Amino acid sequence: MSNYEIAKREDYSDVTFLLEVRHPMMARAARPGQFVVVMLSEHGERVPLTIADFDRERGTITLVIQAVGKTTRQMQQECRVGASLYSLVGPMGIPTPVSHARKVICVGGGLGVAPVYPQARALKENGACVIGVIGFRSKDLVFWEDRFRAICDELILCSDDGSVGLHGRVTAGIEEALKKHPDVDEVIAIGPPIMMKSCVETTRPHKIKTMVSLNPIMVDGTGMCGGCRVKVGNEVRFACVDGPDFDGHLVDFDDLMVRLRRHGKEERRALERWEKGCRMQQSINAAVAASR
């Protein structure tokens, strides 16, 4: 039943990689801001991933993945072109409404660079002036700079270690952009929770509307389990069906970060067990090769 074939793969660094998965119907339905839930195998877990791009002509959707845990590491190893995913469902979540903002800063941190791209492109197509601020830890992790250059009126590239672009975090990039463009109507920030939190704190004194995209722990992605509940203002909302985009100035990021650590112990255990299995497989392979 798995017919979600991987049509293309690109590796950006030893942890970040891109997959294009064939699903013509989803490519047609997907809108910026939505996500999918992927299962690698029948024994796998359900992993929510933001749709980084979609190609309606070729019938593919693009996912950018960072190999950090057991499942994503396994995906990095097993998702070759021609292979298939066991399950792919979506697009999920409320699409980002097409904003009528005239001047927007699109901020992407690390892996968040990917999901902010379709939003930046949609805004550009809508006639807005788009200022891109993308940040990475260092030069060798940079990806999609070219894609952003093609759609942004201005691009600020930041790196934590100063190996490329502006030396500093994306918040420094936002400050710089705001200095030059005090008339920005909206900021869209996507990335790790700590990065989104600092972006929100950067824009709060300027009273600029800041939208963030949340990616908490989920099971079904259809509003059924409540695992992805987040505190927004005084309300409890489910990121999967009420989001994933929320007004960043209302989001309780500390609560989100605590909840993301919910299964830390089990995640470590799964990863260690998997790595042990990989090492065993490698030594078997080496032994087989040596005996030939």
Positions touching other proteins (CB under 8 A) are: 1, 25-26, 29, 34, 39, 43-46, 70-71, 86-94, 219-227, 229, 231, 236, 238, 241-242, 255, 258-259, 261-263, 265-267, 269-270, 273
Shortest Å distance, C-beta 127 to other proteins: 27
The least CB distance from residue 89 to other proteins, in Å, is: 4
Q: CB 285 → other proteins: shortest distance, Å?
A: 23
Q: Which of 76, 33, 81, 83 is nearest to 54 (CA)?
A: 33
CA distance 189 to 197: 9
Strands (E), 12-86: 16-22, 35-39, 47-55, 60-66, 84-85
Nearer to other proteins, 167 or 263 (CB): 263
Min dist. Cβ of residue 56 to other proteins (A): 14
Minimum distance from residue 240 beta carbon to other proteins (Å): 9
Beta strands per DSSP E along the chain: 4-11, 16-22, 35-39, 47-55, 60-66, 84-85, 87-92, 103-109, 129-136, 154-159, 166-167, 186-190, 209-213, 229-232, 235-238, 245-247
Tokens 């047609």 -> residue: 28
Our CB check for other proteins shows the closer of 56 and 261 to be 261
Burial class for 52, CB neighbours closer than 10 Å (0-12, 13-18, 19+): buried
Q: For residues 196 and 26, give the distance between their C-alpha atoms in angstroms, rounded to a whole number.
A: 28
Q: Which is nearer to other proteins, 185 or 267 (CB)?
A: 267
State which residue, 75 or 129, has the beta carbon closest to other proteins: 75
CB of 236 to other proteins, least distance (A): 6
Cβ proximity to other proteins, 206 vs 269, nearer residue: 269
Given the complex with other proteins, which of 166 and 270 has the nearer CB atom?
Answer: 270
